[in-house]
Structure 1
């Protein structure tokens, strides 16, 4: 499963060695934050595929990884099985118009993108960013009164 790193200027889709091999890609996919126009959660990422893999790997219902070329533009996909995912629409990105990935951290990505992470010096996993934002400070419990001993 891909790792999503986010900082104040960019989102990076970090690919494992297997994902790089199957997607025929040497490096990670880097997206500048201003290029992200829309992020959508989806129950089945397969419905968002368009075009043909070029270069990429497609085993129907099992995996789709790589660049997908179509008349509508080039997309990058990392899809495994029929799992929930996220669709990221891009404007002005030099390579892709859309990123389609399966991840269980789609909601965390949406929450992290809404936050201003300017205070983060380096990229952090989106789940960590979302977790920091949703944590509430612990409230101290009031000291309970001592319970009197029975029979005294």
Structure 2
């Protein structure tokens, strides 16, 4: 799971060792708050991918990690399966135009970007706890399956 650190000047996407290896990236992704133009929540991050991974890892429907190059600009993706995600549009960032992350703290991130925060970096989940808002992901209902058809009697 991705860790997001937010302070008054920047948002930092802290990558684990495996995320660094799969995204072919040596360090974390640092985004100045002034470069963030829009933050959107989405249930299907796969629809936001554009272009091709270069460098990056891609297994259709399972993971998409790394830099995605397209004519519209470069994006950084960190997507796992079909989980709730956040899309961060950037303007003036030296590397990327968009960041696409699978995180269960998307709602907390949106709310944390609206409030003033301390100078010390804090985990987005902790900021959500302080503001009294906890994102809740509704559980999916299992599909009802049809019983198998009876074999014809001969």
- The TM tier, using the shorter chain, reads 0.7 to 0.9
| CA deviation vs aligned residue, 1:7-59 (integer Å, no higher than 9, x gap) | 00000000000000000000000000000000000001111000000000000
TM-score (norm 2): 0.85
Counting matched residue pairs gives 133
Separation (CA, whole Å) in 1 of partners of 2:131 and 2:81: 31
Runs (5+) with no aligned partner, structure 1: 136-152
CA RMSD of aligned residues (A): 0.8
Any runs of at least 4 consecutive aligned residues in structure 1 with deviations exceeding 3 A, and if so which? none
User: In the alignment, which residue of structure 2 is the partner of 1:55?
Assistant: 55
Separation (CA, whole Å) in 1 of partners of 2:83 and 2:130: 26
User: In the alignment, which residue of structure 1 is the partner of 2:82?
Assistant: 82
Runs (5+) with no aligned partner, structure 2: 134-154
Tell whether 2:120 aligns with 1:122: yes
User: In the alignment, which residue of structure 2 is the partner of 1:71?
Assistant: 71
Deviation at 1:121, TM superposition (A): 3.0
Which structure has the bigger radius of gyration?
Answer: 1
